[in-house]
Amino acid sequence: MASEFDLIRRHFQAHGPQRPDVPLGIGDDCALLAVPAGHQLAVSLDLLVSGVHFFADAAPEALGHKALAVNLSDLAAAGAEPAWVTLGLTLPEADEGWLEGFCRGFFALAARFGVQLVGGDTTRGPLTLAVQAHGFVPAGAALLRSGARPGDLVCVTGTPGEAGAGLALKLGRLALADATAAARLIDRLERPSPRVAQGLDLRGLASSCIDVSDGLAQDLGHILAASGVGATLELGRLPCSPALAACGEAAAWRFALGGGDDYELLFTLPPARLEALRTRAAGWDCGVTVIGAIEAEAGLRLLRPDASSYFLERGGYDHFG
């Protein structure tokens, strides 16, 4: 087995960005990392399990991308600047072709965000990917789930629902005649874009923030619970891309509210800061949309464009639900 692990280390050691704040990376018992003075370390771990989070035959390059992307998304939601990652790999076999594909996806995204792989562990077993991301944030400046206040606007980046529609397509629960739309939706599922620059821009603006991994309704629910408030969302204001529109309005709402895997940022904003947000968001390629408001009354209220109530049949994904 030693040679197989040598092979794995060959794929990972000294690949991707090499940062000056890493006195010691892969190769020893521990990595040594230098957190800049006056900053806090933001740490987040995500597991991707074959058959639960991805299809067993998923393209390794897409998996490499997604395993890192979902972690960078957590850092983005905290307003943290990504720096280092560790990687736990459980592999059924040391398959060179698979590792090469995985590394292509992983290191391409790492290079885009200047993130260095500084360590990890490798074992044999059912395919499971664990990535822990580390970033920094000026002390006290992190975005939390707990800061939403009545009167704040509820905002979201991008067009949530596309990844959920992509999953429905892959599962054969949705069929689209429009091949361009279908390709776009599946791409959003397989290659999410972590909103890192947006998270950094939201520091000092957003009163709370979360990344949308389990559908807008469930993830907004986490903000509401942590902040001790409620909210109303206006479904007519949900951002809709051409690809989502091809699914029809009712399905687009369902995918946005109860789908998952979008990795957009959902945040609240005191209304006095809307102009400042518009200024900063002018440089965002994903756009941003105000979709509702925070209220003192607990609970989440969903309104159709005609102001009648909308009831969501099923919430977001719950592994133990």
Query: Using CB under 6 A as the criterion, which residues of the chain lie in contact with ligand ADP when the complex forms?
Result: 5, 8-9, 12, 26-29, 87, 89, 117, 119-122
The residue with its CB nearest to ligand ADP is 120
Q: What does the DSSP 8-state code read for residue 57?
A: T
Comparison of 33 and 229: residue with beta carbon closer to Mg ion? 33
* Contact pattern for Mg ion over residues 54 through 73, marking x by CB under 5 A: --------------------
Compute φ and ψ for 153, nearest 5 degrees.
-85, 145
Residue 119 binds which entry of ligand ADP, Mg ion, none, CB below 5-8 Å type-dependent? ligand ADP
Comparison of 25 and 259: residue with beta carbon closer to ligand ADP? 25
Comparison of 8 and 246: residue with beta carbon closer to Mg ion? 8
Residue 89 binds which entry of Mg ion, ligand ADP, none, CB below 5-8 Å type-dependent? ligand ADP
CA atoms within 13 Å, Cβ hemisphere of 31? 22
d(CA 8, CA 2): 10
* Shortest spacing between CB 198 and ligand ADP, in angstroms: 28
Which token pair is 50? 């074959």
* Shortest spacing between CB 85 and ligand ADP, in angstroms: 9
Compute φ and ψ for 113, nearest 5 degrees.
-110, 10
* Shortest spacing between CB 9 and Mg ion, in angstroms: 10
Comparison of 24 and 298: residue with beta carbon closer to Mg ion? 24
Which token pair is 189? 């599922």
d(CA 186, CA 295): 35
Comparison of 3 and 308: residue with beta carbon closer to ligand ADP? 3
* Shortest spacing between CB 59 and Mg ion, in angstroms: 27
Compute φ and ψ for 248, nearest 5 degrees.
95, 150
The residue with its CB nearest to Mg ion is 121
Q: Could you tell me which of 156, 157, 154, 168 has the C-alpha nearest to residue 248?
A: 168
Comparison of 21 and 121: residue with beta carbon closer to Mg ion? 121
Task: Write out the binding residues for Mg ion, residues 115-134 only, by CB under 5 A.
Answer: 121
* Shortest spacing between CB 96 and ligand ADP, in angstroms: 14
108: Cβ contacts below 8 Å, ≥ 6 apart: 65
Question: Which residues pair with residue 295 across a beta bridge?
Answer: 230
* Shortest spacing between CB 169 and ligand ADP, in angstroms: 32
Give the count of residues interacting with Mg ion (CB under 5 A).
1
Comparison of 118 and 281: residue with beta carbon closer to ligand ADP? 118
DSSP labels, 200-217: HHHTTT-SEEEE-SS-HH
CA atoms within 13 Å, Cβ hemisphere of 224? 23
Residue 291 binds which entry of Mg ion, ligand ADP, none, CB below 5-8 Å type-dependent? none
The angle formed by the CA atoms of residues 294, 295 and 296, to the nearest 5 degrees, is 135
d(CA 225, CA 146): 8
Scanning the chain, the segments in alpha helix (DSSP H) are: 2-12, 60-78, 96-113, 162-170, 179-190, 196-202, 216-227, 242-245, 249-258, 274-281
Residue 72 binds which entry of ligand ADP, Mg ion, none, CB below 5-8 Å type-dependent? none
* Shortest spacing between CB 136 and ligand ADP, in angstroms: 21
Quote the radius of gyration of the chain (alpha carbons, Å): 20
Comparison of 26 and 216: residue with beta carbon closer to ligand ADP? 26
* Shortest spacing between CB 320 and ligand ADP, in angstroms: 28
Q: Which residues bind Mg ion (CB under 5 A)?
A: 121
